[in-house]
């Protein structure tokens, strides 16, 4: 009966152990996400909201607050998930403690019964007499084995009681830490919600100001969108030119709009593709202010913006780094816009736009992480924005899928 109980307890502990491992891993993942969001908020404060606000347009301020509010909402959700996960772990550990206490009680009762039985046996007749009363040598040998096994079993029971007691103490300590950690998370979330409320009110105040003269702001947005479209079209044209020039140099008359690759270029492209999701960022510190793809304006939802890359807000005079090794295909000089660098990685291209300084020239072989220029900083608004695009041949790719999450 006792062995059956032990087996059931063992199965329970095995199942609980596997659950705890899975829960702990989930908790670690949530903590990593929370740390990332906290880092983003710190960077937003230093890179977006600490600029010369009096010089920034009201539209830019709304965009900045909207970005920060979205990140903070994600932070609150992740922290809630983390607190809920801790609650599940606390409940699991409390069940484990209850089970351990039950096992410990049974072990102690069993051990006490053995001690009493051993004492009674000792008072009735000595172990020597027990052996001497054997009918034959074989029986005496078996009795000796029984005495030794019984003694070992007593030692094992005593050791198991010691281990279970230590496990119980360790779980109680873990439980106390988890409760304290949950309390801290709940308090942090409370403060985050208060801050979110203040930021939302500020954004609403700005939006109310915009609505008073919506047509004026909408006209400004459309003008900026038209200018961005003009620059994107020019970059598309220069990309096609670079592909055609490369193919001509390779002795090919292909007009397919794709690179003709040499064996070494194929290898480079394969290495680049293998690093999807692991590429380093083009700046040391930055937040993605404009994402890839079609998006509606926050100010006027009738205005859409189709972004072919991402716009990264970074620090003043930030150094631009190559995300992967390759060859500088072209230094793009665009009318009424700051320079851009096009780097080729086989049939992949990375484009770094809105630079104040360029450190490389066409034809240079560059390494991963090499500094290739500086981001332009607007002296009136204090904003430093890097426009980063990626293509395979002339097909646009979403850089967020390729850059490291860290």
In a domain, 406, yes or no: no
Q: Are 127 and 46 part of one and the same domain?
A: yes
CA dihedral 179, 173, 36, 20 (to 10 degrees): -90
Q: Are 287 and 346 part of one and the same domain?
A: yes
In a domain, 240, yes or no: yes
Helix (H) or strand (E) holding 356: strand 355-358
**Final residue of a domain: which of 211, 241, 273?**
211
Q: Are 256 and 361 part of one and the same domain?
A: yes
Q: Are 231 and 342 part of one and the same domain?
A: yes
Q: In this predicted structure, what is the pLDDT of residue 345?
A: 97
Q: Are 167 and 243 part of one and the same domain?
A: no
In a domain, 218, yes or no: no
User: What 8-state DSSP symbol labels residue 287?
Assistant: E
In a domain, 216, yes or no: no
Q: How many other C-beta atoms can be found within 10 angstroms of the C-beta atom of residue 231?
A: 19
Q: Are 207 and 227 part of one and the same domain?
A: no
Q: Are 100 and 228 part of one and the same domain?
A: no
Q: Are 17 and 140 part of one and the same domain?
A: yes
Q: Are 258 and 159 part of one and the same domain?
A: no
Per-position b or e across 13-29, b if 16+ CB within 10 A of its CB = eeeeeeeeeebeeebee
Helix (H) or strand (E) holding 390: strand 384-392
For 29, 56, 363, the CA distances from 42, given in Å and listed in that order, are: 20, 20, 39
**Contact by Cβ (8 Å): 273, 283:** no
Q: Are 134 and 280 part of one and the same domain?
A: no
**Final residue of a domain: which of 211, 241, 256?**
211
Q: Are 36 and 175 part of one and the same domain?
A: yes
Q: Are 26 and 142 part of one and the same domain?
A: yes
Q: In this predicted structure, what is the pLDDT of residue 392?
A: 95
**Final residue of a domain: which of 211, 236, 268?**
211
Kindly report the pTM of this predicted structure.
0.68
The total number of structural domains in the chain stands at 2
For 61, 231, 402, the CA distances from 329, given in Å and listed in that order, are: 36, 18, 20
Q: In this predicted structure, what is the pLDDT of residue 355?
A: 96
How high is the mean pLDDT in each 10-residue block of the chain (406 residues)? 49 51 73 80 70 63 84 88 82 76 72 60 52 59 60 66 72 77 85 88 85 81 85 90 87 81 94 96 91 82 84 92 96 90 96 96 95 91 91 94 88
Angle at 335 between CA 399 and CA 226, to 5 degrees: 65
In a domain, 134, yes or no: yes
**What CATH code is carried by the domain that includes residue 297?**
2.70.70.10
Domain span at residue 230 reads: 223-401
């Amino acid at each position: 009966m006792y062995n059956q109980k032990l087996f059931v307890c063992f199965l329970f502990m095995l199942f609980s152990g596997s659950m705890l491992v899975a829960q702990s891993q989930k908790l670690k993942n949530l903590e990593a996400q929370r740390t990332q969001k906290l880092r983003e908020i710190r960077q937003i404060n230093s890179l977006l909201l600490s600029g010369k606000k009096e010089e920034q347009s009201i539209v830019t301020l709304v965009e900045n607050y909207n970005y920060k509010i979205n990140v903070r909402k994600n932070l609150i959700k992740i922290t809630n998930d983390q607190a809920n996960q801790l609650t599940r772990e606390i409940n699991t550990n409390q069940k484990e403690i209850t089970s351990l206490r039950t096992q410990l009680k049974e072990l102690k009762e069993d051990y006490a019964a053995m001690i009493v039985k051993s004492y009674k046996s000792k008072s009735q007749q000595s172990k020597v007499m027990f052996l001497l009363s054997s009918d034959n040598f074989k029986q005496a040998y078996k009795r000796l084995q029984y005495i030794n096994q019984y003694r070992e079993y007593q030692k094992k029971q005593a050791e198991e009681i010691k281990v279970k007691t230590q496990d119980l103490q360790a779980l109680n300590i873990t439980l106390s830490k988890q409760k304290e950690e949950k309390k801290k998370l709940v308090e942090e979330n409370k403060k985050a919600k208060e801050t979110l409320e203040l930021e939302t009110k500020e954004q609403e105040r700005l939006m109310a100001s915009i609505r008073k003269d919506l047509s004026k702001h909408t006209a400004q947005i459309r003008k900026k969108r038209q200018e961005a479209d003009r620059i994107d079209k020019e970059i598309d044209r220069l990309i096609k030119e670079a592909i055609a020039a490369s193919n001509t140099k390779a002795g090919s008359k292909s007009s397919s709009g794709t690179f003709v690759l040499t064996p070494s270029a194929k290898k480079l492209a394969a290495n680049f593709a293998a690093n999807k999701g692991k590429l380093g960022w083009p700046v040391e510190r930055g937040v993605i202010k404009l994402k890839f793809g079609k998006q509606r304006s926050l100010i006027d939802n009738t205005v859409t913006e189709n972004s072919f890359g991402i716009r990264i807000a970074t620090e003043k005079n930030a150094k631009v780094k190559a995300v992967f090794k390759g060859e500088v295909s072209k230094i793009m000089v665009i009318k009424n816009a700051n320079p851009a660098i096009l780097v080729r990685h086989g049939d992949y291209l990375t484009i770094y736009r809105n630079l104040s300084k360029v450190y490389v020239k066409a034809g240079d072989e560059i390494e991963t992480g090499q500094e290739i220029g500086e981001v332009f900083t607007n002296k009136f608004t204090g904003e430093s924005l890097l426009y980063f695009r990626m293509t395979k041949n002339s097909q646009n790719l979403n850089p967020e899928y390729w850059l490291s999450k860290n």
